[in-house]
Amino acid sequence: MPSDLTEVLQLVRSLESEGEGETTLTDIGFTVTASDLDRDKLFDVIEAVHTHPEWFTDFELRTDSPTIRLFGKSGTGVVTHSDGFEELAELDLSTNHDRSERGFNNYRDSNIERAVEFVHTLVDGLHTNDGHSVTLTGIVDKSTIEDELISTFPSVLQSEIDVFLWPDPDTLGQWVESKSIADVIDAFFAFEKLPVFVFESSFSSIFDASVVTTLEDVDELEGQELADSRDQYQEAMQRARKSTVWHDDLSPVPPAAVIPVRDVIPGFQPVLVYSIYGVFSSAVEVKNGAIEFTVTSEPTTFTKQVDPHDASRDHDLAEIEGLVRAYEIYAEHEDKAAFRDFWRLAIANTCDDLLDLPEHVEEVREYYEDLQVDAIEENFDDLSDAIQQINSFMTGLTSRVSNAATQLSRQIQTLLFTLIGTIVANLFLVLRWNNVTYVPPFSLFIVVVLVGIYFPLIQDRIEDLTGLREEVKKDYEMYEAEIRRFSEQIFDFEELEGRKDSYICMAKKKEKWAQERLALIFRLLMVTWAGLAIWSFVGYPVASMQTTVGAASLIGLIGIWQYHGEKEYFDYQYMIGCVTAGFGVLGLRFLVETSLWTF
């Protein structure tokens, strides 16, 4: 496609040179007198439209006095307008237009070159013999072509790239000059889409926070190169948006996306001015048709209304380079709020006006560096305190996690010992009185106490350990941010974070272990509960103490569910099974005894 497209664009540019043309953001329009074109040029135009009708929004050949459309574009290529030829028939013409219409229609699908012969004969005859001028107009649909170019990129990148096709950088510059800076920014710099500028001209491709390439090279763009540029652009856009308040739906333009291409696209100089002054400002908004940049550094605030187009013309090349140099100094710490404030303070105390900045770059830099030194000296004690605090934090973290995990283990062990004690107590009852009369009610009482009182306590301890993990994460992030505010080199954060993660992992494993054990014991107790209740209902008279305790325990289980049903260990299905089995057996017992009593 790029080779065909290059030929079409070259053809359109040649038509513009012979007639009129206009390139906009979405299309390229051209108008030319058809009789001024030789046969080959006319053939090239019609063949291009006929072969790639999707690349053209409009195309037509028409007479001017009167205006009669003779040929146009359809989805299948160039076609005749029968109504137009009927209008020609009403004129007193010597040209055999019927033959041209029939000839074109006969050959348009099989031999477009032969078909164009009839068009050329018609145009020449109308002009030479009948004195009618024939105009050829067309509109190239840039948007469709740009979408086709995007489709050649890796699919994972297609939604994150905007392609902008222009004949050459000068044409782009002319369009930029004719539009407001807000329109230019809105057209090219979407927040999450890497701008890729594709020109017909030949030069070396540029891959940075924006991409500039040619039609000849667009097929050779590597997916990894585009992905890297996309990442750079999005990160730069994030920094630009974070550093400044942008009002009135104005979009930031990261200087990193404009500086590398400023030599290739000189027309982007207004964009460069807007982007650099924008990130240096505290706020940017539209006022009175201009861009108002506000630099605030307490107690100083000054504003400047600037037309970036005018400013870029007023600044000479040396001043533009001064702006670029100023941004390069600023960019070293652009992501740190304190240093952004220092930079604005340096501007406010060095320049009388924002537009004076290019002439005072060195003074601003020196003032800025002095502020950095002062800040380091004033905050060194705070830095030492922060380091001491994080050391204390890591020491305390070990103790807190260890104690919490130990307490949780002990409570699980206590639960197990209680169950073992219940078994031993039941054995004592059996051996002491040589019967099992008190085993069901005693065991049910123990189970009720465990499930209703002790289980929630253990679950609370597990949740406390979970809360401790979250608290540790927040504390660590706070201390880390405090130290990073000063320097990332003083502390080995990778090793420190590894230690923190190991403690958190240990706590998480203990939580999981305790939760699994608690859930397992709960299910076992539900099965035991059901078994004891059934034993009470089947093994003893209906009016016995055992049956009463069994029924009361099941009712108590329903009450426990009301209060503790949301606990993580609580298995609703096992609880329903226990209650259903118990009361089912009791109901069956009543039914059987009622039947026996009746008979």
**CA nearest neighbour of 186 among 168, 169, 201, 164:** 164
Question: Which range marks the domain in which residue 8 is found?
Answer: 1-139
Residue 514, domain member (yes or no) = yes
Sheet holding 245-246, edge to edge: 245-246, 283-287, 290-297, 300-306
**Residue 593: how many other CB atoms lie within 10 Å:** 12
Instruction: Tell me: do 81 and 200 sit in the same domain.
Output: no
Question: Does 202 lie in the same domain as 305?
Answer: yes
Domain end point (choices 88, 110, 139):
139
What single DSSP character describes residue 357?
A: G
Q: How many whole angstroms separate alpha carbon 507 and alpha carbon 505?
A: 5
Residues 20, 29: Cα–Cα separation, whole Å: 8
Q: 443-460 burial, b for 16+ CB within 10 Å, e for fewer?
A: bbebbbebbeeebbebbe
Task: Residue 489: count other Cβ atoms within 10 Å of its Cβ.
Answer: 7
92-130 core/surface letters (b: 16 or more CB in 10 A; e: else): eeebebeebbebbeebbeeebeebbbbbbbbbbbbbeee
Domain boundary residue, one of 266, 287, 314: 314
Is residue 128 included in any domain, yes or no?
yes
Structure tokens at 82: 């029968």
CB contact at 8 A, 513 and 560: no
**Same domain assignment for residues 134 and 159:** no
What are 420-425's contacts with CB under 8 Å, separation 24+?
422/446
Cα 446 to Cα 414, 435, 529, 568, distances in angstroms:
14, 19, 10, 21
List the beta strands (DSSP E) in 251-299.
283-287, 290-297
Instruction: Please tell me whether residues 49 and 76 are part of one structural domain.
Output: yes
| pLDDT the model gives residue 489 | 44
Residues 104 and 191 in one domain: no
pLDDT at residue number 436: 63
Query: Do 128 and 192 sit in the same domain of this protein?
Result: no
Any domain includes 344: no
> Final residue of a domain: which of 314, 347, 371?
314
- For residue 571, count CB atoms less than 10 angstroms from its CB and return exposed for 0-12, middle for 13-18, buried for 19 or more: middle
Whether residue 166 sits in one domain with residue 98: no
**Torsion angle in degrees (nearest 10) through CA of 63, 69, 71, 74:** 150
| Count of domains for the chain | 3
Question: Are 298 and 239 found together in one domain?
Answer: yes
**Are 123 and 190 members of one domain?**
no
Query: Low-confidence residues of the chain, pLDDT below 70?
Result: 1-2, 375-439, 442-443, 446, 450, 453-454, 457, 472-500, 503, 540, 542-543, 557, 563-564, 569, 572, 592-593, 595-596, 598-599
To which H or E segment does residue 28 belong? strand 27-33
134/197 same-domain check:
no
d(CA 542, CA 223) in angstroms, rounded, equals 80
Degrees (nearest 5) of the Cα angle 393, 399, 403? 140
Is 0.75 topped by the overall pTM? no
- Contact between 494 and 389 under an 8 Å Cβ cutoff? The reply is no
Q: How far is CA 405 from CA 424, 469, 471, 484, in A?
A: 29, 11, 15, 31
Of residues 184, 189, 160, the one with CA closest to residue 172: 184
Taking the CB of residue 292, how many other CB atoms lie within 10 A of it?
17
Would 375 be classed as within a structural domain? no
Any domain includes 403: yes
Same domain? 128 vs 158: no
Is residue 170, in this structure, part of any structural domain at all? yes
Domain assignment present for residue 358? The answer is no
For residues 191 and 44, membership in a common domain is answered with: no
Per-residue model confidence as pLDDT tens digits over 439-450: 677 667 767 776
